[in-house]
Structure 1
Amino acid sequence: MGQDIEDSSGVARPAGGERPQEIGFILIPGFALMSFASACEPFRAANQLAGRSLYRLRYFGEAAEGRVAASSGVEVPTEALPREHGCLHTVFVCAGGEPTAWDRPAIHAVLRRLARFGVRIGGISGGPYLMAAAGLLADRAFTVHWEYAGATVEAFPGSCLTRTRYVADPDRLTCGGGVAPLDMIHTLIAGRMGEAFARRVSDWFLHTAIGAAADPQRASTAERYAVHHPALLAVIETMEKTIEAPLSRGAMARLVSLSERHLDRLVRDKRGVSFSAQYKAIRLAHARRLLRQSPLKIGDVAAACGFSDVAHFSRSYRSCFGCRPSAERQTTIRDVA
């Protein structure tokens, strides 16, 4: 497509009489309103700043005609899922909540059909999970909101999941959600309209620090744990990477060239808990996400979090969260239903 040109007043004018790009959003009940707004609002602002319709937005739901509620309760009017590609240029699927509610065969089929027609398919927040379920991300690098990363890895072993803010390929787009869509859509608008125009759109939202695709989704380990000691940071980062196969205290101490006693003292002084308690807390937090978001059996969750004994896992979980793993899962099922 030809790139639009700005006249002396800074208003984009069409190059070659391009028609508006039609951008669709398939909304899954419980989608995150902020992620959705961060994706669709830049297109609206682009139209306003250009003084013409660069983009036409459409919103789809599973019902023939109705409304889809976000996690906040705000409802968006929707039309039926598209049967044909029509003029659709790009379609994003937006999902939030829990992956246990994302078994949507009708939507998976629509995504596959649109992809066959050459429509660019995107996923926002939990949306990439549905793209993977539709078979659209095999052997492709993609991302998903960090909260769903564990469930995604368990559901799609061998997938090329990254922890970046977004991944933009010519025919596939995946984004971690939150405010990251502002960065991704900036890139899309810049690709069509030029960097100067895209910068005006970002400035419209006071979005002056545009993140790169490869930037991380989460704050650094130092910020999340309020730790700045280099050895302790290395230990905590290793704990997060070795959840399924925890390292011994001795192995961890050798990794950072400390004695076991010095390591124990360092963790307790900086974190207020023992080495074992810190490690277990990280593993149990991961277990909680898997119980809420994946269909794994409790025994498999225990194994995925480094517990060889299910009874020990259950006791540890109850001590940490006040309920058994089975109760956690039942509560999640009731909430989703």
Structure 2
Amino acid sequence: MTDTAGTRRNTGDIETQRVALVLLDQFSMIAFTSTIEPIRIANRVLGRDFYDWKTYSLDGAPVTASNGCKLSVDGSVSELQDADITLICAGVDVERVSLPRDLGVTLRRLNARGRTYGAICTGSYVLARYHLLDGRRCTIHWENIRSFREEFPDIDISADLFAIDRNCITCAGGMAALDMMLRVIAIQHGAYLAHEVAEVALYQNMRSGESAQRHDLESRTGISNVKILDAIRIMDLHIEDPLSCQQLAMTVNLSPRQLERLFRRHFDCTPGQYYLKLRLETARDLLRRTNRAVLDVAIACGFASTSHFTKCYRERYGCTPTEERQSYFWAQGPRKAAARQVVAV
């Protein structure tokens, strides 16, 4: 991974970095502010405006964040002509946003000029649709990683907190945006300034890009038994090709009976029931985040037939996979229910 973070420009006697943030509907407010605040504080510590930022929406109209707050912007993406760093800030349901061709053209032009471009939170999905992540290592919020891999199998997506690959920078969102921007500041001004900015922000532990997005499995489950944690990790790695209870038990050096006793003690279910729950949760995520056919989702989650998948899904969620997808789109309103526009640039 190569650290680059934009080129400096001279404006009079002051070097400036022009940062453009493209806000999509339902963008993550915490990720957005975690991007802006570090460079605002850096300006304050430096005693001059090294960083200058502007916000853009697809049409120049105010944009509503996922928390319901509406934000006015400086212009539309058609007015975005040049910037040293351009970041796509997205949030929930980014897969269903209709993207204009001119945004892709602009990003490609900036890339050709050697400018830095990237994404915050789920913005990597947008870059992928414009083919701007081809040959790049990138990241996205952990909730979107599995569906992203299904949609873009050839892209090198990681579960890292943030990724910097040449002039492409991406982060998982939330506070990860703060870590990424502190890294950008460190690249451009040195670690001392980055630490000073972090102190002003009362941010005590600056994290590296390779840091994990999620808490470890022990913290998430509240369980410390190594055998059962290993079994869950193996289940998660074999969603598409489920292992039998006997195979699971062998991989953690237990008998099937011992493994079943552990799962009943900690989860009040059998290993098979827990495994099925994980597979159905994955299926639900794919139904909501992708346009893949129900049969494709079934196969991706280890079901041999649509009928078996539908039966299991109805028993767990009280509806069929098709009904799940339709009701989810309906709940999001007409804008979300519209089919995703395919972008070719």
Runs of 4+ in 1 over 4 A off after TM superposition: none
Asked whether 1:92 is paired with 2:84, we answer: no
Q: Structure 1 residues 196-205 or 231-240, which shifts more?
A: 196-205
Query: 8 Å contact 2:94–2:123 — kept in the other structure?
Result: no
Q: CA deviation at 1:40?
A: 1.2
* Cα separation, 2, equivalents of 1:296 and 1:173: 28
Counterpart in the other structure of 1:210: 206
Asked whether 1:226 is paired with 2:222, we answer: yes
Residue-by-residue CA offset, 1:93-134 (whole Å, 9 max, x unaligned): 011111432341433333223212222111111111111111
Which of 152, 167, 188 is the matching residue for 2:163?
A: 167
Residue-by-residue CA offset, 1:242-268 (whole Å, 9 max, x unaligned): 100011111111101111101111111
Counterpart in the other structure of 2:147: 151
Query: 8 Å contact 1:83–1:110 — kept in the other structure?
Result: no
* Cα separation, 1, equivalents of 2:293 and 2:284: 13
Counterpart in the other structure of 1:327: 323
- Figure out how many residues of one structure are paired with residues of the other and give that number: 321
Counterpart in the other structure of 1:280: 276
Counterpart in the other structure of 1:10: none
TM-score (norm 2): 0.89
State the superposition RMSD in angstroms. 1.6
* Cα separation, 2, equivalents of 1:243 and 1:99: 24
Counterpart in the other structure of 1:73: 68
* Cα separation, 1, equivalents of 2:175 and 2:131: 26
Counterpart in the other structure of 2:36: 40
Asked whether 1:132 is paired with 2:128, we answer: yes
* Cα separation, 1, equivalents of 2:230 and 2:47: 52
- Secondary structure of 1:20's partner? strand
Q: Which runs of 5+ in 2 are unaligned?
A: 1-9, 338-345
| Aligned CA distance change for structure 1 residues 318 and 311 (closer, same or farther; 3 Å) | same
Q: Which runs of 5+ in 1 are unaligned?
A: 1-13
Query: 8 Å contact 1:239–1:279 — kept in the other structure?
Result: yes
TM-score (norm 1): 0.91
* Cα separation, 1, equivalents of 2:147 and 2:168: 21
Q: Percent identity?
A: 32
Task: Say which structure, 1 or 2, has more relative contact order (CA 8 Å, 6+ apart).
Answer: 2
Residue type of the alignment partner of 1:247:
L
Residue type of the alignment partner of 2:135:
D
What is the 5 A alignment of 1:1-337?
17-63=13-59, 65-78=60-73, 79-82=75-78, 85-86=81-82, 88-106=83-101, 107-334=103-330, 335=332, 336-337=336-337
* Cα separation, 2, equivalents of 1:110 and 1:81: 8
